[in-house]
Chain A
Amino acid sequence: MATTVTINPVTRIEGHARITLHLGDDHKVHEAYFHVNEFRGFEKFCEGRLYTEMPTITPRICGICPTSHSLASAKACDAIQRLIPTPTGVLLRRLAQAGQMLASHALSFFHLSSPDLLLGFDADPASRNILGLAAKAPEIAVKGVLLRKLGQEVSERLTGKKIHVLGMVPGGMAFPLSEEDRAALLAQLPAALETCQMALGILKGYIDSHRDMVASFAMFESPYLGTVGPEGALDFYDGWLRWVDADGGVLAEVPPQRYREFIAERSMDFTYLKYPYFKPLGFEKGFYQVGPLGRVNAATRMSTPLAQAEFREFRSLNGGRPVHGAFFHHYARLIEMLYCVEELKRLLDDPGITSTDVQARGHRNALEGIGHTEAPRGTLFHHYHVDDTGVLTRVNLLIATGQNNPAMNRAVLEVAKQYVDGERITEGALNRVEHAIRCYDPCLSCSTHALGSMPIDMSLYSASGEELDRARRS
């Protein structure tokens, strides 16, 4: 007799999601589905608008990674104008991106994930959040909050807005950075660097003391995708797409404009998120992971010294090959967080960053443009078609969480198999399933539930539809 266990909704991820676990006759989990029930139709709304408005429209897709959307959009506009942004424009775009990545990663680690790690998966859910963390380890919580604030301050100083960025424009940036703002940001970097190292220390300590759990937590192998710059260095802003297999062998390394030759998508009936896959390997074998783990596994090196040292230590966990397991998304995320701070320093030290030559100007010169960049959650593509007046006729957005969707389902299945036994779900098992999803830091809509205040409703049905058990928390 097969039974369905529903966990609904998942707290502390962005947006609403529902998980159903399907038990087989042996009362073990056989299948797991992570449902995304939102359909926003953003691509359709954009049709009929002017392409130059897209860097302002698309950040409204999400409150966590607006910069990435604006950036991918501005790059698609560059392509439509066949325009090379000014060097300062590129520096400022990179600065905005590193700032957003820092804010997003700090949110993911300190607000959303560290309560599970520091307070324990089985701690009372009412206090297993940033406030509970603040009560137990105030210095960690405060530093985490400040780190995220610094990331947001970068975009505020660059554009005058903390979240929904203004200022990304075709050809570069709309506004220059003042000397005063540069100095104010630079002054905060030493403390930020320390916080990143502290976070890495916390995570490594956790891994040391929970070796078995970490080694088995949502453990599965897959190919990875990330953007790489010169000599395979991890790059957020620009470069080539590199897919590696589970052993680190390069499957493809191509300019992002060719993404369609390598990524195909398939609709599934249980979710509005499409299932993308690496075309050459086919649907069954081709699901790959993006985001921190995707990038750090696909790259050959990090371009900044401290992050490079961490990178080598990380990769040595699996003999230099890609490191597998959903839990290691956290680890990779923290290495990237450190890289962000080093990268901020490099950019702010560049004498060109305060130049006022921020934007190259052009007109529509192509009927199509592809913009690509690395969002906190992975590789992001904006693909626009316009008519000869610049009005959009077709818009395709390939988002990071979509690409991680197959992997998230797999992670949920692995964890559920391990922790869910019989017809009941313990609080601890429920939390671990949620945490498996949280490893991917998915953003499913614009809403933020950073305090985990959403209720969880979990039902257990028999094959005949009878409710066997129900667990709820609010």
Chain B
Amino acid sequence: MAALEIFVNDRKVACESGATVLQACRAAGVNLPTLCHFKGLSEVGACRLCLVELEGSPRLAAACTLHVAPNQRIRTDTERLRRYRRMTVELLFSERNHVCSVCSANGDCELQELGYAVGMDHVRFPFLNPICNLDASKSEFAIDHNRCVLCTRCVRVCAEVEGAHNWDVQGRGFLSRIVSDLNQPWAESTTCTTCGKCIDVCPVGALWPKHKAQGQFEKRPEFVSELIAKRGRGRP
């Protein structure tokens, strides 16, 4: 692939054409917060945490879905971006019922880390306190929609890597829910292979091995990324 140059925060960065701005930034050591992005899976640009400013455009762009172009000028750390990122994280917290202290992922959670990273000391938006379901029907795993941030990593890993496509999204906006098959209890799914990849990629505690207590299990996202790399890019 042809090499080209872009400017990240006025610094010249060399990258390959076809790369995303997120890839170029990370390769150059510029950190960007992400949530829905998962190395090796397709990009959906859903969480809006990787937003950057693009010179010449009035709108912010998601770095994970924006492709590099010659002499593109990107800003990753402006006052406006910091404000939006913090707001986005607060909105994520306010949308479902996140109770870190009793969550299975407490201490090993990307949402929690994002909260720290953006300096969130409280949530300025009213909590929606939706009534969400806990599906513990499966003997190995459980999914708790109270904690889901709708990143759809589970949907993508299941469809693109495992090839099972057990998970999908139902509904719109804040009424969206992750569903198993055609919204059946997980245990009744005819597609789930019980591989556990969704457990490893879930950034929060929404998916977890039922019999593991807080602090007792570690997610292995790298394992899934390595697997994808070994196999070549996931299936269509």
List the one stretch of A163-171, A195-203, A321-329, A455-463 in contact with chain B: A163-171
B189 shortest CB reach to chain A, Å: 14
Q: Are B213 and A391 in touch, CB under 8 angstroms?
A: no
A343 shortest CB reach to chain B, Å: 25
Query: B210 is contacted by which of A48, A50, A60, A174 (Cβ under 8 Å)?
Result: A50
Question: Which applies to chain B's interface (DSSP): helix, strand, loop or mixed?
Answer: loop
* Residues of chain A contacted by B216 (CB below 8 angstroms): 169, 174
* Residues of chain A contacted by B46 (CB below 8 angstroms): none
Q: Does A155 contact B (CB under 8 A)?
A: no
Cross-chain pair count, CB within 8 angstroms: 46
Q: Does A141 contact B (CB under 8 A)?
A: no
A77 shortest CB reach to chain B, Å: 10
* Residues of chain A contacted by B104 (CB below 8 angstroms): 53, 56
Query: B136 is contacted by which of A50, A166, A170, A175 (Cβ under 8 Å)?
Result: A50
Q: Does B57 contact A (CB under 8 A)?
A: no
Q: Are A164 and B101 in touch, CB under 8 angstroms?
A: yes
Residues of A137-173 at the interface with B, using a CB-CB cut-off of 8 Å, are 160, 164, 166-170
Q: Are B101 and A167 in touch, CB under 8 angstroms?
A: no
For A167, give the chain B residue with the smallest CB separation. B215
Q: Are B134 and A363 in touch, CB under 8 angstroms?
A: no
Convert B102-133 into 0s and 1s, putting 1 for each residue whose CB lies closer than 8 angstroms to a CB of A: 10100000000000000000000000000000
Q: Does B214 contact A (CB under 8 A)?
A: yes
Q: Are B214 and A390 in touch, CB under 8 angstroms?
A: no
For A361, give the chain B residue with the smallest CB separation. B211
Residues of B in contact (CB 8 Å), total 15
* Residues of chain B contacted by A164 (CB below 8 angstroms): 101
* Residues of chain B contacted by A50 (CB below 8 angstroms): 134, 136, 142, 210
Question: Which applies to chain A's interface (DSSP): helix, strand, loop or mixed?
Answer: loop
A465 shortest CB reach to chain B, Å: 41
Q: Are B210 and A52 in touch, CB under 8 angstroms?
A: yes
B217 shortest CB reach to chain A, Å: 10
B102 shortest CB reach to chain A, Å: 5
A52–B109 Cα distance when bound, in Å, is 19
B43 shortest CB reach to chain A, Å: 33
A105–B214 Cα distance when bound, in Å, is 28
For A387, give the chain B residue with the smallest CB separation. B136
* Residues of chain B contacted by A52 (CB below 8 angstroms): 210-211, 213
Q: Are A174 and B211 in touch, CB under 8 angstroms?
A: no
Residues of A375-412 at the interface with B, using a CB-CB cut-off of 8 Å, are 389-391
A471–B145 Cα distance when bound, in Å, is 52
A326–B175 Cα distance when bound, in Å, is 57
- The verdict on A391 contacting B136 (CB below 8 Å), with A169-B213, A174-B216 known, is yes
- The verdict on A53 contacting B211 (CB below 8 Å), with A48-B134, A169-B216, A391-B134 known, is no
A88 shortest CB reach to chain B, Å: 16
Q: Does A312 contact B (CB under 8 A)?
A: no
Query: A60 is contacted by which of B101, B136, B142, B187 (Cβ under 8 Å)?
Result: B101
A168–B216 Cα distance when bound, in Å, is 11
* Residues of chain A contacted by B213 (CB below 8 angstroms): 52-53, 55-56, 166-169, 174
* Residues of chain A contacted by B101 (CB below 8 angstroms): 60, 164
For B217, give the chain A residue with the smallest CB separation. A174
Residues of A in contact (CB 8 Å), total 23
Q: Does B78 contact A (CB under 8 A)?
A: no
Q: Does A49 contact B (CB under 8 A)?
A: yes
B133 shortest CB reach to chain A, Å: 9
Q: Are B214 and A56 in touch, CB under 8 angstroms?
A: yes
* Residues of chain A contacted by B134 (CB below 8 angstroms): 48-50, 391
Convert B177-196 into 0s and 1s, putting 1 for each residue whose CB lies closer than 8 angstroms to a CB of A: 00000000001000000000
* Residues of chain B contacted by A55 (CB below 8 angstroms): 213
A56–B217 Cα distance when bound, in Å, is 14
A363–B102 Cα distance when bound, in Å, is 21
Convert B153-183 into 0s and 1s, putting 1 for each residue whose CB lies closer than 8 angstroms to a CB of A: 0000000000000000000000000000000
Query: A174 is contacted by which of B136, B139, B215 (Cβ under 8 Å)?
Result: B215
Query: A53 is contacted by which of B102, B137, B187 (Cβ under 8 Å)?
Result: B102
* Residues of chain A contacted by B211 (CB below 8 angstroms): 52, 170, 361, 363
For A53, give the chain B residue with the smallest CB separation. B102
Q: Name B residues whose Cβ lies closer than 8 Å to a Cβ of A.
A: 101-102, 104, 134, 136-137, 139, 142, 187, 210-211, 213-216
Q: Name A residues whose Cβ lies closer than 8 Å to a Cβ of B.
A: 48-50, 52-53, 55-57, 60, 160, 164, 166-170, 174-175, 361, 363, 389-391
Known interface pairs A57-B102, A167-B213; 15 further A-B residue pairs with C-beta atoms within 8 A, sorted by A's residue number: A49-B134, A52-B210, A55-B213, A56-B102, A56-B104, A56-B214, A166-B215, A167-B215, A170-B211, A174-B215, A174-B216, A175-B215, A363-B139, A363-B211, A391-B134
What are 18 A-B pairs with beta-carbon distances under 8 A?
A: A48-B134, A52-B210, A52-B211, A52-B213, A53-B104, A53-B213, A53-B214, A56-B102, A56-B213, A60-B101, A60-B102, A164-B101, A168-B213, A169-B213, A174-B215, A363-B211, A390-B136, A391-B134
